[in-house]
Amino acid sequence: MQSVEVNGRVFDEYVTSQEIAQSVAKVAERINADYAGKAPLMICVLNGAFMYASDLFKQIELSAEITFVRLKSYEGTKTTGDVKLLTPLYVDVKGRDVIVIEDIVDTGLTMHGFVKYLKEQGANSVEITSFLFKPDALQYADAEPKYVGMSIPTKFVLGYGLDYDELGRNLPSLYVLRGN
C-alpha cells in the first residue's frame, strides 16, 4: 500500500517492511556482539514496541529474558521526567543488565523517567534500543538510545506497532503523515 487513511488523515509509505527487517537484523547483531557472555533482561515497553520486540527478540542469540511494562509519562511543574508504571515490573532488575525495547524516542521524556527508575531499582546497566529515534526532538540526553533501528526527522509516523489514535499498529510498513 502506497498510502493509507486513518481517522481522516493520509499517511504515505515511508519505510518498507523489507527495510525494517534489515535494520532490525543489524540491531540484533550489535546486541549479540556487545552482550556476548551476558544474560540481559529485555523490557518491552507496551503497546508500541510489541512488534519490534517480537522481531528483535527472535534474533537475539543470548540467554536473554524478556518482560513487558506499560508506562505513562507526564510533565508538570514538579513532575518533569517522572514516569508512572501502569503495570508492575514483574522481574527484579537488581544487578541485571537491562535493555529497554522502545518503538520510538521522541522528546525522550518517557525513557528519561524509566531509565532513572531502573537505576534506582539497582540495575547493573541500562541501555535503550529503539526502533525509531527522532534526534532533533530529543530533550533528555540520558534517553538517547544506544541501539537505533533508524533515525528519522521530527515527523509523525505510523505502523509497525506505532499508532495514530490507537489505529494503524497492524501495518507492516512504516508510514509518515502527509504534509507534516
Cβ atoms of residues 9 and 164 within 8 Å: yes
In the structure grid, which three cell numbers stand for residue 4, read together?
493509507
Residue 105: contacted member of Mg ion, ligand IMP, none (CB under 5 to 8 Å, by partner type): ligand IMP
By the rule CB under 6 A, 55 interacts with ligand IMP: no
d(CA 126, CA 162): 23
By the rule CB under 5 A, 97 interacts with Mg ion: no
Cα Rg of the chain, angstroms: 16
By the rule CB under 6 A, 43 interacts with ligand IMP: no
Contact partners, residue 166, CB within 8 Å, separation at least 6: none
Which residues from 134-173 bind ligand IMP, rule CB under 6 A?
156-157, 162
Nearer residue to ligand IMP within complex by CB, 47 or 124:
47
Number of Cβ atoms within 10 Å of the Cβ of 117? 19
Known catalytic residue at 165: no
Minimum CB separation from ligand IMP for residue 157, in Å?
4
By the rule CB under 5 A, 159 interacts with Mg ion: no
Torsion of CA 101, 106, 109, 115, to 10 degrees: 30
Q: Applying CB under 6 A, which residues contact ligand IMP?
A: 48, 73, 103-110, 156-157, 162
Active site residues: 106
Binding site for Mg ion (CB under 5 A): 48, 103
